[in-house]
């Protein structure tokens, strides 16, 4: 055995299930003398085909190019440091995601009330541009025309005092008058009177001319107050006035809540 070659090699020690090193042969002999390791403890160096007891390595050294797997090796888990014990690593991603979801839901719930407040402010200031932003005028006109026609026809058919001729004239010309009435009222300037007074000019029986709001009525405006407000669908919301004479319905279009329907009091 070449003693000089053996002493220059780096040896690894396998003891108690863990691998340590590298050590020189002199260091291993010193540890052996100190009783920190024993002759039966396994050691290995580059060129050895397998782990061997220290006593064999001291007496001989074989050469090979392959290093075998450590027998019964196991991963060593270092104990947590002091800082890790005091401030353990915590993932804040779930909490952040939950917070974002809560904020989105809160804004979604509050947004119809913000749209309602914007609508009231626009009517108070007479801001036609703001009213255009908060009212879906084409759909509002159409829905109101259909509702008023239904009520009007119902009143005519239930009225037993009117003569047949007057009823016929009313049935023929009534819808056209209704369309003209709605088109004239459902405008940026006319919406304030309709919502604040909680009334809509109504057709009279027997085809009499349509009554319009008197100037005195227009001067007695009061803010539309609601007694109930909540979602009627994922993209629809309604406000019911305190006297329950009007119901304002909003829908969500292009990420904006807009007034699209007004339920009028039944005649």
CATH of the domain at 55: 3.30.1490.40
* Inside any domain, residue 244: yes
pLDDT in tens, the chain (267 residues): 444 445 567 888 888 777 887 888 888 888 888 888 888 888 888 878 888 887 887 776 544 334 555 555 555 555 666 666 666 666 788 899 999 999 999 999 999 999 999 998 888 888 888 888 999 999 999 988 888 888 777 777 776 655 665 566 666 667 788 888 888 888 887 777 677 765 555 444 444 444 443 433 444 445 567 888 999 999 999 999 887 778 999 999 988 999 999 887 665
Q: What domain range is 64 assigned to?
A: 3-73
146 and 221 share one domain: yes
36 and 118 share one domain: no
- Give the sign of the dihedral formed by CA 58, CA 64, CA 66, CA 72: negative
Burial of residue 148 (number of CB atoms within 10 Å: 0-12, 13-18, 19+): buried
* Inside any domain, residue 25: yes
| CB count in 10 Å sphere of residue 266 | 8
250 and 129 share one domain: yes
What local confidence, expressed as pLDDT, does residue 76 receive?
55
Cα distance from N-terminal residue to C-terminal residue, the chain = 118
* Inside any domain, residue 93: no
For the chain, the domain total comes to: 2
Give the domain-ending residue among 48, 73, 98: 73
The Cα-based distances of 125 to 188, 192, 231, 239 in angstroms read: 11, 10, 27, 21
140 and 230 share one domain: yes
Question: Phi-psi bin for 255: left (phi > 0), alpha (psi -120 to 50), beta?
Answer: left
* Inside any domain, residue 94: no
* Inside any domain, residue 92: no
123 and 250 share one domain: yes
69 and 157 share one domain: no
* Inside any domain, residue 123: yes
117 and 247 share one domain: yes
Question: Which single residue is written with the structure tokens 């026609």?
Answer: 149
The Cα-based distances of 25 to 49, 101, 103, 181 in angstroms read: 18, 65, 67, 109
Q: What are the residues whose beta carbons fall under 8 Å from the beta carbon of 36, sequence distance 6 or more?
A: none
245 and 129 share one domain: yes
119 and 249 share one domain: yes
123 and 31 share one domain: no
Give the domain-ending residue among 53, 73, 93: 73
Q: Determine the Cα–Cα distance for residues 249 and 267; give it in Å rounded to an integer.
A: 20
Tokens of 73: 């090796």
* Inside any domain, residue 217: yes
Question: Which single residue is written with the structure tokens 């915590």?
Answer: 90
* Inside any domain, residue 230: yes
User: Using H for helix, E for strand and C for coil, what is the string for 146-202?
Assistant: HHHHHHHHHHHHHCCCCCHHHHHHHHHHHHHHHHHHHHHHCCCCCHHHHHHHCCCCC
In 3D, which of 151, 133, 91 has the Cα closest to residue 250? 133
Strands 52-53 and 247-253: unpaired
56 and 138 share one domain: no
135 and 241 share one domain: yes
Q: Determine the Cα–Cα distance for residues 108 and 255; give it in Å rounded to an integer.
A: 10
Q: Determine the Cα–Cα distance for residues 202 and 211; give it in Å rounded to an integer.
A: 6
DSSP state letter for 135: B
Backbone angles phi, psi at 18, to 5 degrees: -125, 150
Q: What are the residues whose beta carbons fall under 8 Å from the beta carbon of 139, sequence distance 6 or more?
A: 260, 261
């Amino acid at each position: 055995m070449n003693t000089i070659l053996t002493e220059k090699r780096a040896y690894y020690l396998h003891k108690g299930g863990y691998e340590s090193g590298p050590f020189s042969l002199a260091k291993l002999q010193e540890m052996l003398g100190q009783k920190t390791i024993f002759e039966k403890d396994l050691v290995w160096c580059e060129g050895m085909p397998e782990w061997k007891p220290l006593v064999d390595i001291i007496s001989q050294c074989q050469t090979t190019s392959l290093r075998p797997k450590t027998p019964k090796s196991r991963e060593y888990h270092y104990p947590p440091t002091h800082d890790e014990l005091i401030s353990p690593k915590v993932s804040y991603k779930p909490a952040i995601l939950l917070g974002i979801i809560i904020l989105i839901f809160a804004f979604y719930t509050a947004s119809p009330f913000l749209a309602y407040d914007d609508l009231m402010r626009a009517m108070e200031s007479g801001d036609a541009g703001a009213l255009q932003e908060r009212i879906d005028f084409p759909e509002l006109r159409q829905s109101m025309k259909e509702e008023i026609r239904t009520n009007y026809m119902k009143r005519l058919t239930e009225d037993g005092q009117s003569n047949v001729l007057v009823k016929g004239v009313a049935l023929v010309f009534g819808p056209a008058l209704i369309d003209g009435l709605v088109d004239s009222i459902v405008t940026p300037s006319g919406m304030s009177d309709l919502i604040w007074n909680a009334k809509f000019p109504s057709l009279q029986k027997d085809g009499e001319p349509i009554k319009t709001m008197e100037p005195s009525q227009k001067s007695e405006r009061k803010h539309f107050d609601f007694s109930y407000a909540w979602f009627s669908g994922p993209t629809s919301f309604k406000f019911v006035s305190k006297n329950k004479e009007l119901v304002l319905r909003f829908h969500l279009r292009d990420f904006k809540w807009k007034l699209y329907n007004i339920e009028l009091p039944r005649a």
